[in-house]
Structure 1
């Protein structure tokens, strides 16, 4: 039995972690952390836990929490964990962090994209990026796992097969992304109010969205050379879900590639990846087919007229893009079946 603490349990990501762990028969949740809700029961703070989980949220130091558990899952704001995490804590337990604090290996990127100076360089170097489908072996031995962001998860899994096979021109990658409102978190913001979001679609974070650096890091690691992309996210008036539509030119020596060839590349790349479903014949993924699940649906469509490919993906930003992937990382790290507590299919309608 693995003892787990969840810090930031009342937010969207943290509450989904707790909800999933309710069905994990190899895990005991021993601590729920929260700042503004300390002293309240989780069932009072979040009505979906009423009469199911009566644990009281607390606000102990990270060191105190580490003495109680085998794993801490932190669903906290960026720049929170980086200031308080140190090696002594990692000697006591595994930490899986849902924030961006340990995702980017180049510390200068934190100044550029997150506007803070990363001073925890030793742990940054030791952290393991937790994209389970591409980094399984390292995750199994990690003490600090940086849970990937939602856009980077979906973008990377959508593009990786063709990138690894050197089929696309890496200078031509354009990613059009759309996300539900929960991706912005639970705190009140003017841009996320109902009347601001309802019946409206808008682009945001043009040119310098925070996840640009993370996506470029992932794609560069796969291609084994530096890659820059054009990435434009959009806010969609729905609660949850991410849809990626990415475009790239074919390399000239693949001008005669067929749709069947592309499908086979994706199926072979993901043949043993339980949580990635390859839709054939260029079938466009839909967010409703993954909502509430840990699945990623990917697809590729040949645009022979323009000698391009369209690479598509869909995830639930709160599950595969956050909490579900954190549990997937926990399962890998502690030797459980990778899909334990994560087998739910999407809710429909």
Structure 2
């Protein structure tokens, strides 16, 4: 397959010693939120129903930069995302600025070639705030030909308004943060240690500019390929979302559940650290997901690779469990 896996083994807190006594029952106890309404968002039927409604709205009339079609988070994948559609007489490129009182302005130039038809997702609205959005039409040299502004009230974050901003502390580094967004993966409630199924992206000033709702668990990573952003929405589902915010691909891990990490392989695939749900061991598999077909195949079974060692691990859970561990933490392709 031409894939070289570099496995780094660390002796740390939980691992092979627990594998013989955990397994399927452990996964049952995770209480996956199958009745979560967000689960409906990440279905092909929901996405296609939304697409039909958008297409009908687009066909109703001619939308202009002065009077565009605006829809807040129509696909359900970004709480503060704003869908925009309009047409222009000439082919132009588009940039935009978002202003909300009390917050730094947010500026982006939209990707793509100059066109007379414009369909985008604008990210960057400040949650729970009245946002003034200015659309700039650009000529071939990037100069502003004309601008149009409108106001849009942004919804609150699903996780809670208290997460709209983060406290920024100045460090000793002289290097400036890039003009990008930073995500927090796997936030937990301190009292219960339960994962909060939301991934929030912040700018360098600590303002939330994007929120990805999840079905359960946490987002382990976001990777970009084939014009899509791939991220996991649960223990066993990864989705591919396009720049409009529409889910166009759903990858299910069948009888596997991921843990801790996944990354792009070298053959248009994803390599995923996983556990097999119907086995008596956990965190001992590496599986491959073909991004073209969605097919899932197992690459490595560490229980077989270290069968002699696993055979010694018949001890029940006890107070010394945390002393006996091997944990797989990283791979490269």
Q: What range describes the TM-score normalised by the shorter chain of this pair?
A: under 0.3
Higher percent of residues as strand: 2
TM-score normalised to structure 2 length: 0.22
Larger Cα Rg: Structure 1 or Structure 2?
2
Using structure 1 for the length normalisation, give the TM-score. 0.21
If asked which structure has higher relative contact order (CA below 8 Å, sep 6+), I would say 2
Compare the two structures and name the one with the higher helix fraction. 1
